[in-house]
Amino acid sequence: MRYIGNKEKLLANIYDAVLSTGVNSGSFCDFFAGTASVGRFFKSRGFSVVSADLLYSSYVLQKAYVENNEEPEFNGLYSAGIIGAGGFAQSRLEVVLDKLNSQPGIRGFIFRNYTEDGTRGDEVQRMFFTPQNGQRIDAIRTTIENWNNDGLLKENEYFILLAALVESVPFYANISGVYGAFLKQYDPRALKKFVIRPIQIYKSHLRHSVHNVNSMDMAQKLDVDILYLDPPYNQRQYGSNYHLVETIAKYDAPEIYGVAGLRNYSEQKSEFCNAKTALAALEKIASTAKYRYMILSYNSEGIMPTGEIMKVLGRAGSCKLVGVEYRRFRSNSNGEAKTKKTIQEQLFILENPRTKAPGSFGALQSRPMVAAKMAC
């Protein structure tokens, strides 16, 4: 899923930062889960993961990737005769997705509000999806909900199907990066027939917990080995950038407004999207949560200045800072930095003296990291 700040390409660097602390197992908290890419990575490396995010669409991904530990069997659908055995090489999940993809389109909420035909005659004709794809999304989302309401899905199966839908949507959305606006002409990607795609299942023998809450409310309740923070770094709220994915995940027919058809996201605003409150929020986490090490991943062009971050973390313990150069997300190529091709991700690694364990920082492995000549 295309997502601002997604750390998928930096996972090896983040893992090296964790290993440099001497911790290679135990509990890992993904404080701002987003697409759950970091949580699922550390789950696959043998950590017990706790994750949280304000957005319900993120919670859906967390439930499917992080909390769920088993391949879905869909015995309820099989027993009811809704699906058959499938092909020789097909998994049960693939059989169910084939069934969903065969559903006739319906003119539901997405078609009526986010397609050209559905909004014809309105003040704004929205083109987030083609009319055909809008109807297919409505049909698939409605079928999943009906199956769940009929008791044919286990909880993990329900969220796996929702996650597959959420992950599939960006491949057909007529947008440049986020859902704050749609393109005036259809991108070739958007003209393809929408199909729901399978997702990877991450098995584990450990217990993992996920939460759809404001992560700040969890700070004082945490007690983990590694606390990983990847907060928003500019003033654009994720609730507005990803409102359409949120609506598809919830499918709650919200009141919408504006050119983009935004849903109300007033309860989903992050303190890290405000320069005045971000540093205070960071200090609260660093000083109240229980952790052996905290790793803050933060964009070098973020609204919290590097020097101020260093002061805040320096009051909480000893830390070091490394930087990673990477290709910028194209929706962030704006303002004075719009001609820059790369950007630096800063990894602040904080050792907590309140829960200090034996040992000290180890050497970082030879990944393409650029060590900053700074110490907190």
Which CATH number fits the domain that encloses residue 321?
3.40.50.150
pLDDT of residue 233: 81
Let me know whether 19 and 161 are in one domain: no
Measured over the CA atoms of residue 289, residue 291, residue 293 and residue 294, the dihedral's sign is: negative
Give the residue among 110, 126, 130, 117 at the shortest CA–CA distance from 259: 126
Quote the pTM value. Answer: 0.89
Which of 221, 254, 269 finishes a domain? 269
What are the residue ranges of helices labelled H in the chain?
A: 11-19, 37-44, 56-62, 75-79, 92-101, 109-114, 131-149, 155-168, 238-241, 243-250, 275-288, 306-316
Question: What's the CA angle centered on 289, arms 373 and 62, to 5 degrees?
Answer: 95
Query: Is the model's pLDDT at 371 over the cut of 80?
Result: no
Let me know whether 246 and 328 are in one domain: no
Let me know whether 318 and 212 are in one domain: yes
pLDDT of residue 367: 40
Let me know whether 117 and 19 are in one domain: no
Contacts of 294 (CB under 8 A, 6+ apart): 226, 227, 228, 229, 285, 286, 313, 316, 348, 349, 350, 352
Query: Is the model's pLDDT at 361 over the cut of 90?
Result: no
pLDDT of residue 238: 67
In tens, the pLDDT along 224-279 reads 999 999 988 876 666 788 999 999 999 999 999 999 999 998 777 788 888 889 99
Let me know whether 54 and 151 are in one domain: no
Query: Is the model's pLDDT at 74 over the cut of 80?
Result: yes
Position 177 confidence tier, pLDDT thresholds 50, 70, 90: confident
Full domain range(s) for residue 329: 1-69+206-232+275-376
The Cα 147–Cα 80 span in angstroms is 10
Q: Which helix (H) or strand (E) holds 209?
A: strand 209-211
The token duo for 89 is: 């090489």
Number of domains present in the structure of the chain: 2
Residue scoring higher pLDDT (294 or 365): 294
Query: Is the model's pLDDT at 2 over the cut of 90?
Result: no
Let me know whether 93 and 139 are in one domain: yes
Query: Is the model's pLDDT at 198 over the cut of 80?
Result: yes
Amino acid at 327: R
Let me know whether 192 and 223 are in one domain: no
pLDDT of residue 345: 85
Amino acid at 218: M
Which of 248, 269, 290 finishes a domain? 269
In angstroms, the Cα distances linking 302 to 107, 236, 344, 365 are 41, 11, 10, 26
Question: What's the CA angle centered on 368, arms 366 and 369, to 5 degrees?
Answer: 90
Let me know whether 193 and 216 are in one domain: no
Amino acid at 214: N
The Cα 256–Cα 234 span in angstroms is 24
Position 343 confidence tier, pLDDT thresholds 50, 70, 90: confident
Question: Helix, strand, or coil here: 333?
Answer: coil
Average model confidence (pLDDT) for the chain?
88
Let me know whether 43 and 133 are in one domain: no
Residue scoring higher pLDDT (217 or 140): 140
pLDDT of residue 226: 97
Let me know whether 50 and 173 are in one domain: no
Average pLDDT over residues 172-184: 94
pLDDT of residue 369: 38
Let me know whether 96 and 147 are in one domain: yes
Let me know whether 292 and 173 are in one domain: no
CA-based Rg of the chain, rounded to a whole angstrom? 22
